[in-house]
Amino acid sequence: MAGRDSNTARKGRSLGPPSRQLDWIATLAAKGTGALQPQHLHFRRQPQGRKTLHLVLLDQSASMLRGQKLAWAKGCVLALSTLFYRRRDAMAVLGFAGEQAQWLQKPGKAGLFNEHWIAPLRGGGATPIQSAIDAVQDTVRRAPAGTQVAVWLLTDGRFDPLPQRPGGVDDCYIIDFEDGAVALGRCHRLAEMWGGTCVPAAQWGAPTAG
């Protein structure tokens, strides 16, 4: 959190690599008038020794099959995995559709060359968002002490009711894929509930994974 970083700096502790907290002023300045790309993302500095775990939640429900939204989201997952690899962060990917959520990639050091498991992902069925939140909560409880946890939810928000923010999570980012004629605005409402940041998927450019 911003206050935590500021207090740390005032105490004179050494700062390490960029944290999982986005610096939106620097990010938007880097983006300019074009579409947001992973290379535009700037992060605040974090204290030395802090470990970051990014939990990426991928909505694979039936509504994400319309308008190539799932292909678009898979391209975002691929881009994020490359970003986290370059930052030497840890990540996990959790897909949710049908009856329950399931791990597509369990927590571990982010790696390159993820196309082989991201591209074949398919979707359909209901949107078991609470199952995904429960899995996040369990992962946070098991994480080593001092781990910074960021949640990235990629969804069109076609679920109700809206889940509560999982405890112990430091930052939440919701990539909004809603594109229907009737906008429900649930991603924005969820971001407000969670105290997180909602980013329209359109800012991430066109789909890059089939």
Measured distance CA(154)–CA(201) in Å, rounded: 9
Predicted confidence at residue 1, as pLDDT, reads: 37
Measured distance CA(99)–CA(12) in Å, rounded: 49
Of residues 164 and 19, the one with the higher pLDDT is 164
Predicted confidence at residue 203, as pLDDT, reads: 76
Among candidates 157, 161, 169, 158, which has minimal Cα distance to 194?
169
Domains of the chain with bracketed CATH: 19-48 (no CATH), 52-203 (3.40.50.410)
Q: Residue 39 pLDDT > 80, yes or no?
A: no
Question: Could you report the per-residue pLDDT of 110-128, keeping only the tens digit for each?
Answer: 988 899 999 999 999 999 9
Measured distance CA(133)–CA(156) in Å, rounded: 16
Predicted confidence at residue 7, as pLDDT, reads: 35
Q: Residue 48 pLDDT > 60, yes or no?
A: no
Predicted confidence at residue 113, as pLDDT, reads: 86
Predicted confidence at residue 14, as pLDDT, reads: 38
- CA torsion sign for 179, 191, 202, 98 is negative
Among candidates 80, 63, 193, 173, which has minimal Cα distance to 123?
63
Cα-flanking dihedrals φ and ψ of residue 116, to 5°? Answer: -65, -25
What's the pLDDT band for 10 if we cut at 50, 70, 90?
very low
Among candidates 110, 18, 100, 17, which has minimal Cα distance to 56?
110
Would you give the distance in Å from CA 139 to the centre of its chain? 15
Question: Could you report the per-residue pLDDT of 136-186, keeping only the tens digit for each?
Answer: 999 999 999 889 999 999 999 999 999 999 999 999 999 999 986 678 899
Once rounded to an integer, what is the mean pLDDT over residues 88-115?
93
User: Facing residues of 94 across strands?
Assistant: 57, 103
Residue 15 Ramachandran class (φ > 0 left, ψ -120 to 50 alpha, else beta): beta
What's the pLDDT band for 2 if we cut at 50, 70, 90?
very low
Of residues 30 and 183, the one with the higher pLDDT is 183
